Amino acid sequence: MKTPRRINKSRALALVRILAALLLILGAAVLAFLVVSRPATAQPTARPQPLTPHFSTALAFDVSPALRNLPRVARPLIYPPDTLLEVRERGPEGPRAHRVKPHSADGALQLFSHVFSPTPTIPAPLLTFEGLSNLDNFNVFGFRVNPPDPNGEVGPNNYVEMINLVFGVYDKAGNLLVGPIDTGSLWAGFPIEDCTDPSGDPVVVYDQLVDRWLLSQFTTRGLNPDGTFNGLPFYNCVAISQTGDPTGAYFRYAFITAQPGTTSTFFPDYPKYGVWKKSYVLTSRDFGSQDEYGISVYALEKNKMIAGNPNARAVHFFIDGNDPDLLPLVGDGLLPADLDGTRQPKEDAPVPIVGTQDDNASYGAAFDALNIWELSIKWKANPEASIVLKTQLPVASFDSIFPCSPTSRDCLPQPGIVDPTQFLDILSYRQRPTFRLAYRNFGTYESLVTNQSVEALPGVAGVRWYEIRRTGGSYSVFQQGTFAPNDGIHRWMGSIAQDKSGNMALGYSVVNGTNVFPGVRYTGRLAGDPLGQMTLGEGTIINGAGVQTTTNSRWGDYTDMTVDPTDDSTFWYVNEYYEVSGLPLPTPTPPLPPPGTTAPWQTRIGSFKLSTP
Ligand SMILES: [Ca+2]
Ligand SMILES: [Ca+2]
Ligand SMILES: [Ca+2]
């Protein structure tokens, strides 16, 4: 184990540094945006340059006590009880897409012959139960946060959920076995203390190939409270369960995000992970301290990590988003393939990495497309790795720029809410697909499904979803659709996956301005159904009964549809909703919140199957 630089600052100060950014004036963020949005140093290149792999080994490693015995790092801080902190509200923002051409009609809008209503065709949930909530944050930290970043995955015996800023382990009946624990405690005692902060953007994935859990978060000590860089490094903190029991001990790793050849530090925002055959793959939206912007792609050496080898390696590529030719090809993020099922990709098959581009947005896309990158990696003594833009797949016209006002996050109305600053964030302007890129090998072809939020009809949010196939190494869009029944309900912040038969489930948030409170629903299709159609109607994980009243408007930033490895058929979905309203209450008054509550978001976990066995 290499000895990292020790950083000795108080826990309270660390929390303040991470989260107290809401105290800053907006002007600082605007200035940061202006500085990084169009750097004068950007040099156009004709085509994507060959990208150089940078290999490293984990900067720190150790073995944790069993999760159920870990000491708790977090100590409640004294805040007014109604304090709500936005996770990393101020900080590097990078480019922000805006509209450059008028609304485009959606070219893959699923048509309904009559007014859409939920049909009995889609099976009801087998089970739903309460996940973690903002009340857990209050109980652990003494304050609440937004957004929640809800995600979780199902394993043989457990469901593990991570949110900002806590996580928990459930059995499959929904009983909480361990937690809620502040995410930093997962790294309690770890040599790189940055990992012990409750920093956020957590991701958990279950690796059914080797029966292990991967839990992760980024670090934020390199950011000042005002979002500027202070010279400290950043890390991706990754914990791998020693066995299939997520309540047991973990092998803990930290991989630095520094880039060779520069003195900049790189903040790895919005990390997303995927399971592959011999690698864990992660992508992040990076901001360098010298105004660099781009997307990082990492592969982590899985076989050594699951063996608890301190010398597990990483390979890192940085794709420069300040290059105007590269910006549309990476946008605001790429998603790594995350393997479902047990049929593995071919030996040495490249890992698909997928982005999305929209010609309505200001990143320079000439047409609407999926951008397919391929990452190749061989973990030899002298490892080899490469990443290439494999192809661009034109897709049916879509429009990711929703009419939001007064800010780009004030988009979707809620019942009783008349102040548009409290409208919910659709987040569709971010030029990227949303978690996950669910991969499945069907033998004669490989299939990838993903989704993004769009303006499906003028002023109506919907979910564009895609099935990409790789056959003999070549990619095509096998089907695509936009799910937005014209029933006055907004659907967004989706996540999609396929079961072993190719049946597809799409979960998402719902809301409207009159009688649909923020809730969680799902739709689906069977493998043989007409292409591009979610044929089964709509099911409900949980109906909302309250509204979000915070003016930061944050929603998501992601949700998670996963597949039970036991039968490879049962879907498990997690998303946020409101059972009671935040304060101040809108009129008419929905259910009353607990005293002092400002943002009582909750999460709900639900399971369902689309076909009987
Ligand atoms: Ca998995
Ligand atoms: Ca478009
Ligand atoms: Ca707002």
pLDDT of residue 15 exceeding 60, the answer is no
Cα 276 to ligand 1 centre (Å): 9
Cα 87 to ligand 3 centre (Å): 15
Query: What's the residue count for the chain?
Result: 613
Question: What's the pLDDT score for residue 118?
Answer: 65
Q: Average the pLDDT over 61-66 and give the result.
A: 98
User: Considering the chain, what percentage of its residues have pLDDT values greater than 70?
Assistant: 90
Residue at token pair 């004036």: 25
- Which of 12-16, 233-237, 243-247 is predicted least confidently? 12-16
Question: What's the pLDDT score for residue 400?
Answer: 98
Mean pLDDT score across all residues of the chain? 90
Residue 233 has phi, psi (to 5 degrees) of -75, 170
Q: Which pLDDT band holds residue 34 (cuts at 50, 70, 90)?
A: very low
79-98 pLDDT, tens digit each: 887 888 888 767 788 899 99
Cα 451 to ligand 3 centre (Å): 24
Question: What's the pLDDT score for residue 26?
Answer: 29
Q: What does pTM read for this prediction?
A: 0.92
- Which of 417-421, 437-441, 572-576, 595-599 is predicted least confidently? 595-599
Q: Which pLDDT band holds residue 44 (cuts at 50, 70, 90)?
A: very low
Q: Which pLDDT band holds residue 68 (cuts at 50, 70, 90)?
A: very high
Angle, CA of 527, 533 and 539, to the nearest 5°: 85
Q: Which pLDDT band holds residue 112 (cuts at 50, 70, 90)?
A: confident
Q: Average the pLDDT over 95-105 and give the result.
A: 96
Q: Which pLDDT band holds residue 589 (cuts at 50, 70, 90)?
A: confident
pLDDT of residue 146 exceeding 70, the answer is yes
Q: Which pLDDT band holds residue 113 (cuts at 50, 70, 90)?
A: confident
pLDDT of residue 10 exceeding 60, the answer is no
The larger pLDDT score, comparing residue 50 to residue 347, is at 347
Tokens at 303, concatenated: 């076989």
Question: What's the pLDDT score for residue 28?
Answer: 33
Question: What's the pLDDT score for residue 124?
Answer: 95
For residue 112, which amino acid is it? F
Cα 425 to ligand 2 centre (Å): 20
Highest mean pLDDT among 6-15, 251-260, 295-304: 295-304
Cα 486 to ligand 3 centre (Å): 26
Give CA–CA dist 21/28, Å, rounded.
11
| Longest Cα–Cα distance in the chain | 66
Question: What's the pLDDT score for residue 519?
Answer: 98
Question: What's the pLDDT score for residue 269?
Answer: 96
pLDDT of residue 30 exceeding 50, the answer is no
394-426 pLDDT, tens digit each: 999 999 999 999 999 999 999 999 999 999 999
301-334 pLDDT, tens digit each: 999 999 999 999 999 999 999 999 999 999 999 9
pLDDT of residue 11 exceeding 70, the answer is no
As residues whose CB is below 5 A from the ion ligand 3, the structure lists 410, 421, 551, 553
Ligand nearest to the CA of 105: 2
Are 266 and 92 a contacting pair, CB within 8 Å? no
The larger pLDDT score, comparing residue 252 to residue 32, is at 252
Q: How many Cβ atoms sit within 10 Å of the Cβ of residue 512?
A: 18
Name residues whose C-beta falls within 8 Å of residue 522's C-beta, 6 or more positions apart in sequence. Answer: 122, 505, 506, 507, 508, 538, 539, 540, 541, 561, 571, 573, 606, 608
Give CA–CA dist 3/6, Å, rounded.
8
Cα 480 to ligand 1 centre (Å): 23
Cα 364 to ligand 2 centre (Å): 11
**Through-space distance between the first and last CA atoms of the chain, rounded to whole angstroms:** 49
- Which of 15-19, 237-241, 283-287, 575-579 is predicted least confidently? 15-19
Cα 108 to ligand 2 centre (Å): 12
The larger pLDDT score, comparing residue 193 to residue 46, is at 193
369-381 pLDDT, tens digit each: 999 999 999 999 9
The larger pLDDT score, comparing residue 504 to residue 612, is at 504
Cα 439 to ligand 1 centre (Å): 10
The larger pLDDT score, comparing residue 431 to residue 112, is at 431
